[in-house]
Amino acid sequence: MNTIAERIYDFLKGFPPFSMLAPENLRAICKSVEVHYVEKDSFVFKTNELVKDTFYVVKDGDIGLFSANNELVDECDEGDIFGLRALMRQGTYVLSAKAIEESIVYSISSKLFDDHIAPTPEASKYLMSNLASNYRKSHNEDHNHTNISSLENTASGFTDLLEEQTADYSKNPIVCSPETSIKEAATLMTEKRVGSIIITHKNKPLGIITDKDLRTKIATGTFSIHDQVKDIMSSPVITYPTNITVAEAQIAMIKHKITHLCITEDGTVNSELTGILSEHDIIVIRENNASVLIKEIKRTKSVNDLKQIRLRAQKLLNRYIEQQIPITFASKIITEINNSITCKLIENAVNSMPTSVPTSFAWLAIGSQGREEQLLLTDQDNSLVFNDVPKKDLQKTQSYFLELSKKVTQDLNTVGFEFCPANMMASNPKWCLSLLQWKAQFKRWITSPDQDHLMLCTILFDFEPIYGNKELVDEMAEGIFDSISHHEIFLNHLGVNALKNPPPLSFFRQFLVEQSGEHKDQFDIKARAMMPLVDAARLLILSNNIKSHNNTILRYKKLMELEPQNKDLYNDALLAFKNLLQFRTEQGLKHHDSGRFIDLKSLSKVNRLQLKNCFKTIKDIQELILVRFNLSQFL
């Protein structure tokens, strides 16, 4: 390789998916890479331009991806890929790529992709996951109000990680021998109502005939219907193993310009045929993704239909976990579906009320749903804030919203979100209040931080507006931070609360399990492992006066920016929480419950070790809190 190609090689080998390629493949790419200097505010490509036969990697600088109305959708810096989604889709660009600062980018042709990246399963799977993760939530045009339409737009921004799903192929392909007549094969296809037939020998695929072959080779008179299928079959067939993903299928069909893939035991033509995957199958799969579910939510009028949609969402979650989709992406998708269902139920409830809404309001998810960490069907936690009204109208207004909330919480229960055992729901008068009442309540908890008040803070400080007037929610948050600024000792009390669950290992490094009750001898992964990390993140983000981060993972990411000296610790905490969330979700799906209580005897040695590795991070983060907030005197 020449000197420039060597430099490109040295750079790309440090970033996935290029780091996943064999050296010879990466070197072949680097020999043909084009280098572009892009001045600040200059475009690499623009919305509605025809898609170029290339995608891009940022070498230096910062490339912004902008929507048609010039809203920043994503930023790409060193090592990031952009333009690949458009290349796969073809047509015109949906986004514009513009240099936010002067930049150097590498362009890589589709041929290089087809020849050197697509054939490497690990690299192509990574790329499709990367495509999904690069789309962030778009801001609503109306920043004050959230409804189901805006959630639909948000969900459309995700790729739904669809490409990473295992493709659901037909496991009963229609087959025939090479000597079968074309007429017999066509008759069989007609009887079975299929568009293809596989030609096999000893159940190993030799070739394929599709409806297109019958049109182009038989209807035109090129071959007789009495000829044998081996005379017109397409051979060799393209084969893949049983765990083929939608991404791999799409890439293969594009690369080979075909509409059917043969599925075999080991992915080669030398093993037995197990199924067939068609372009139609891919279309069907695409009809069962989060964006489609949210559109169905918008159209449906039945609570029972919403229940079925939520059950379908649970199946999607199962597939994401099986495919090892990053838990953060799966969490975002399930959160959008949950929020969309809630919005629909609120809209239905509002329309069913005998009188119109007396004043603006907002529905809030609290606790784990407010943190966007509720993947499994668990109990509901919610609250409601309504705009201040004259004192004489307060009771009547609250009664209206309590009646509305009862309708919503009842319907949520029907959908599958059980009533909260502690009654932390908007149908409870304690959690259905005016803005002024909420502020007064928060102030009372902060100025008198007893154990009950601290417990309520850990739940109700993690709120996220689902529906309604966001300005009310912003004012609630302002009230919290204002009260804390005048009573900073509250953070010390919150710190003591964050230390109440130490790392869940005994002196002999054995798991601390429940000693009695229904879950005796089981491990409580929520209370003993996840909540210490949640509580620590909340405390640290509040102490930094950050108002817009409720999600635990995003809180640790923000803390890494704010405190670079503790970056490694916060990164460890972030990874530990991801692993615990993943583990709890897997256990919940496996046992059809909340995944909270785990039978340690059912865990492998590897699982136990993975959990114990998370506990060291809990110890480290709690030691930081102990020192930072001078908590020795409080303990």
Average pLDDT over residues 357-377: 91
Element (H or E) spanning 395, and its range? helix 394-415
Write down the pLDDT at residue 140.
Answer: 32
Residue 189 near residue 197, CB atoms below 8 Å: yes
Q: How confident is the model at residue 559 (pLDDT cuts 50, 70, 90)?
A: very high
- Cis peptide, bond prior to residue 17, ω within 30 of zero: yes
Model pLDDT for residues 99-154, shown as the tens digit of each residue = 999 999 999 998 898 888 888 877 876 765 555 434 333 323 333 445 544 444 44
> In 3-state terms, what secondary structure has residue 59?
strand
* H/E stretch holding 110: helix 110-112
Average pLDDT over residues 505-527: 80
Q: Is 308 exposed, middle or buried (0-12, 13-18, 19+ CB in 10 A)?
A: middle
* Single-letter amino acid code for the residue at 62: D
Check: pTM over 0.75? Answer yes or no: no
Average pLDDT along the chain: 86
The full 3-state SS of 505-545, as one line of letters, equals ECCCCCECCCCCCCCCCCEEHHHHHHHHHHHHHHHHHHHCC
Confidence of residue 160 (pLDDT cuts 50, 70, 90): very low
pLDDT score for 287: 56
Which pair of structure tokens corresponds to residue 469? 């007037």
Distances (CA, A) of 572 to 252, 511, 553, 619: 38, 20, 11, 11
Helix (H, G, I), strand (E, B) or coil at 588: helix
User: Is the N-terminal amide bond of 236 cis, ω within 30° of 0?
Assistant: yes
pLDDT digits (tens, 9 = 90+) for 301-345: 899 999 999 988 888 888 778 767 778 888 888 888 899 999 999
| Structure-block tokens of residue 288 | 């069962």
Q: What is the mean pLDDT of residues 429-442?
A: 96
Write out the H or E segment, with its range, that includes residue 550: none
Q: Which two tokens stand for residue 617?
A: 């991070």
pLDDT value of position 69: 82
- Give me the mean pLDDT over the 579-592 stretch: 90
Mean pLDDT of all residues in 491-501: 92
For 166-190, write each residue's pLDDT tens digit. Answer: 677 888 899 999 999 999 999 999 9
Distance (Å) of CA 448 to CA 36, 171, 439, 487, 573: 61, 64, 14, 10, 30
pLDDT band, residue 163 (cuts 50/70/90):
low
Where does the pLDDT of residue 1 fall: very low under 50, low under 70, confident under 90, or very high at 90 and above? low
Tokens of 394: 């307060």
CA 488 to centroid of chain Cα atoms = 36
Structure confidence by residue, pLDDT tens digits, 54-77: 999 999 988 998 888 887 877 788
Confidence at residue 330, expressed as pLDDT on a 0 to 100 scale: 83
User: Could you tell me the CA-to-CA distances from 204 to 167, 195, 198, 235, 265 in Å, in that order?
Assistant: 21, 20, 9, 12, 10
117, 127 Cβ separation under 8 angstroms = yes
Q: Which of 75, 83, 127, 84 is nearest to 103 (CA)?
A: 75
CB–CB of 464/372 below 8 Å? yes
Nearest Cα to Cα of residue 250 among 144, 351, 164, 135: 164
Measured in residues, the chain has a length of 635
Query: Which pLDDT score, from 0 to 100, does residue 130 have?
Result: 52
Query: What per-residue confidence (pLDDT) applies to 145?
Result: 46
91: left (phi over 0), alpha (psi -120 to 50) or beta: left
Q: What mean pLDDT is predicted for residues 442-452? A: 93
Whether pLDDT at 88 is above 80? no
Please write the tens of the pLDDT for every residue from 226-280: 999 999 999 999 999 988 877 778 777 866 778 899 999 999 999 999 999 988 7
Residue 286: what pLDDT? Answer: 61
Residue 528 has pLDDT above 50, yes or no: yes
Q: Give one word for 156, left, alpha or beta, with left for phi > 0 and alpha for psi -120 to 50.
A: alpha
Average pLDDT over every residue of 473-502: 92
Chain center to CA of 210 = 37
Q: What's the whole-number mean pLDDT along residues 615-623?
A: 92
pLDDT band at 162 (very low <50, low <70, confident <90, very high): low
